[in-house]
Structure 1
Amino acid sequence: MKILVHPQTFNLQKYGGISRYYTEILSRLSKNNKVQIPLYGTSNVYYNESVLVTFKQKLYSLYIKLLEKLKIRGLEKTRKRNDKFFEKTILKKDFDVFIPTYYDVSFLKLIDSKPFVLTIYDMIYELFPHFFEDQQKIISSISANKLLLMESATRIIAVSENTKRDIIKIYPHIDESKIDVVYHGCSIKIVDTHTHNLPEKYILFVGTRANYKNFIFLVNSIKELLKLNNDLVLLCAGGGEFDNEEKEYLKELNLENQIIQREFKDDELGLYYKNAICFVFPSLYEGFGIPVLESMVCGCPVVLAKHSSFPEVAGEAGVYYEAGNPEDLKNKIYSLVQNPILRNEFSIKGSDQVKKFSWEKAAAECLAVYKKAYKTSIKQ
């Protein structure tokens, strides 16, 4: 099968869940299918470390890195070159199915009657617009583009049953029969050669902390637990340094030494999960929630609310608290802190649950959807 891929996500992200998703899927599909990704080069780490990257792209990526070191803005020029390369490639029409990697709609005028398959990662902008008030113009544009693409797509892949339900609930005119659910896999590995000055006893929080990620709710839920256990730490991995507002709040609570933030390299995160008492994911909504899989792969118990996609991903391996109930969240975390037998029980459950997910399975299911889209276009 000939698969043409829009390189948009690789132009936009150096790291990120969407570019990781496409790198994992397309790397596997490229073994038995012709996968075209029209790129001169990209700064995306996942792509550049994958089997997808060509020798010319490697050279170009070195050139981009050199420009970055010299503080020359080469990425904008690269994106423009990539855009021209992409347009030239799509106009040849030498493909069976087209795969947009985000919500750019410019290809619609170039694709003619060729089929395309759109992946929807979540409906966060549509469900919680109040969390993005400072980005209203951008979010409105993305949501409008997403809707147009859903209406025009030959088939749609949703990353969870919950995301599929959200699509249909928000846009009931979208044909439910053209939506397929394909779960993510997990890429995380535990690299024991890394040495880190990790706290001896810590609760783990991963990623960004703003608005719907519900970080302050977590802090308020466990502040008394931390004060009663001076050797216990809340470790925030990634998400950038605490901003001034966060620093001030932690100082007010007198917890600035027990709530800390660390950055990590991509291959270091596994150890953060492995050595944690538990991973807490207090997010109000996730289309899928890859950190849930990451935690389970590393044998770390997962504490989360029973909403959005979480029950699908965590299954019986999740330690669920009542959404919006800080006392219940504190009690669930405390039970894991105090009880190593319970921690081990949920670690084993997580190891079993995560076997249901793999990139090999996801790639095979994506290919089946691509073929379905191609067959539909032939019949028409």
Structure 2
Amino acid sequence: MNVLYDHQIFEKQQFGGISRYFYELWRHAEIVGFSAQIEIRYGKNAYLLETDEFRVSMQPFDDPWRVFLERTHVPVKKQLFRIKQHLVQEQQWKLRLKEKNRLAALERLTHATYDIFHPTYYDPYFLDTLKGRPFVLTVFDMIHEYFPEYFKLTDRVSENKYRLCQAAARIIAISEQTKRDLTTIFRINPDKIEVVHLANSLEPGYDAPNVELPETYVLFTGSRAIYKNFYFLVRSIAVILHKNNLKLVCSGKNFSAAEYQFFESLGVQHHIMHVAADDAMLAHLYQHAQAFVFPSLYEGFGIPVLEAFACGCPAILSNTSSLLEVGGDAAVYFEPKDLRSIQETIAKVISHEDVRRDLIARGYERVKLFSWETTARKTYDVYKKTLNEL
């Protein structure tokens, strides 16, 4: 069986859970019994760039003139760069490269031999090209449907997702929660949906990065988008940070000016720090944290939960959406909009070593239930079922 993946998410993400998922499917395909190709010409995805194949074949998703000028040593480099910026804006180059990716994918879909197409995000650009050939769609969450107020009026993700869900031969949901949401919000027949859990790629044991960390801290990783509930978390634990001389360490994007102002308004600006984190640094942060705190209002799955388990970090989670499904009895939970619930739960974990040891032990056992090989094998089962139904 030959499966084709497209460029979409590898074009969007340098790092991220969705691109990690498709990369792991591609990487494990031969192991579980199918052949997989990724069609992408221009991209920036760090996981693909770890491989010899894509280091050679994938061009930078960037203005080629800017790349050339950055690598060239000429006396008038700055002047040339200003002229280039005046003539062709960088955004125009990105639009051109996106179009080249899309056209290459359409060419592949039209002329290549494949059995299943599996798009990596929700752009329906390919529908008229398939001409009856099946495609499988993975739905990762229903954030756009639950929190439409957080997205621009021009955002078409929800509309496109719905259209593809109707057209797909089968749908993969990454959790039982996501399946329930699909049946409730989009009214998709549950018989059309297969649940295939994700897994973890992070492993402890990397060489310790050269960074100075606080002696005691709790960890928050990834995006701080509104539904991630970061601001309410900070407001809730401000008193704990002061009382226990505790720090909150965050990965993800650098703090914005507005975030710094928020920290100062609570008097916790000296208790919160940002650390830029690749996989090695992220594993290091988990390993040395008192606990990992995940206050999100909604998750389609929650890979950071498995990362914490794998690295021996006690997990303190919202009792919402898929987090109970993923964390099981290996985490402790709080009401994400209840300040006192957050405070009491975090205080209990950081103040009792026996609680922390128990959570660490449970986490090591829990993470064994999830693997990318299992994800790939179950996905292969969905592909086979799709072809058998033709």
Q: Same fold, TM exceeding 0.5?
A: yes
104, 110, 117: which one pairs with 2:123?
Answer: 104
1:135-146 mapped onto 2 (5 Å cutoff): 135-138=152-155, 141-146=156-161
- In structure 1, which of residues 206, 211, 219 is the aligned counterpart of residue 221 of structure 2? 206
Q: 1:167 maps to what in 2? A: 182
Given the alignment of the two structures, is residue 176 of structure 1 paired with residue 175 of structure 2, yes or no? no
1:30 is displaced (CA, Å) by 3.9
Is 2:61–2:97's contact at 8 Å kept on the other side of the alignment?
A: no
Does 1:10 find its partner at 2:13? no
Question: Do the aligned residues in 2 keep the contact of 1:117 with 1:157 (CA within 8 Å)?
Answer: yes
Q: Which amino acid in the other structure matches residue 137 of structure 1?
A: T
Structure 1 residues 68 and 265, CA gap change in structure 2 (3 angstroms): farther
Determine whether 1:87 maps to 2:102: no
Equivalent pairs, count: 368
Offset of 1:105 from its aligned partner?
A: 0.6
* Structure 2 counterpart of 1:218: 233
Residue number in structure 2 paired with 1:242: 255
Q: Give the match's secondary structure for 1:303.
A: strand
Consecutive unaligned residues in structure 1, runs of 5 or more: none
Deviation, 1:66, is: 8.4
Cα offsets for 1:74-125 (capped at 9, x unmatched) = 5544333322221111112511111111011111000011111000000011
Does the 8 Å CA contact 1:93/1:111 hold for their aligned counterparts? no
- Which amino acid in structure 2 is aligned with residue 235 of structure 1? V
Aligned to 1:186: 200
2:199–2:370 Cα contact (<8 Å) kept = yes
2:79 is aligned to none
Question: Which residue of 1 is the match for residue 299 of structure 2?
Answer: 286
Partner of residue 360, structure 2: 347
Quote how far apart the aligned CAs of 1:67 are: 4.8
Q: Give the distance between the partners of 2:149 and 2:127, measured in 1 at CA.
A: 30
Paired position in structure 1 for 2:288: 275
Match of 1:300 in 2: 313
Tell me the TM-score normalized by structure 1.
0.91
> Is residue 371 of structure 2 the alignment partner of residue 367 of structure 1?
no
- Name the amino acid aligned to 1:151: Q
Deviations 1:279-305 (A, max 9, x none): 000000000011111111111011112
1:120 to 132, 139, 142: 139
CA distance in 2, matches of 1:87, 1:179: 26
Write the deviation string for residues 49-75 of structure 1: whole angstroms up to 9, x where unpaired. Answer: 147x357415x4599888546368455
Per the TM alignment, residue 312 of structure 1 is displaced from its structure 2 partner at its CA by 0.8
The amino acid that maps onto 1:11 is: E
Where structure 2 has 5 or more consecutive residues not aligned to the other structure, the ranges are: 71-83, 85-89
In structure 1, distance between residues paired with 2:62 and 2:229: 40
Q: Distance in 1 between matches of 2:273 and 2:138?
A: 36
Amino acid at match of 1:29: A
Per mean C-alpha deviation after superposition, the further-off stretch among 265-274 and 24-33 is 24-33
What is the CA distance between 1:186 and its match in structure 2? 0.5
Contact 1:40 1:56 in 2 (8 A): no
TM-score by length of 2: 0.89
Change (3 A) 1:129 1:41: closer
- Higher alpha-carbon deviation: 316-325 or 361-370: 316-325
In structure 2, the CA distance between the partners of 1:62 and 1:325, relative to structure 1 (3 Å rule), is closer
Contact persistence 2:62–2:94 (CA under 8 A): no
Query: Are positions 1:22 and 2:22 aligned together?
Result: yes
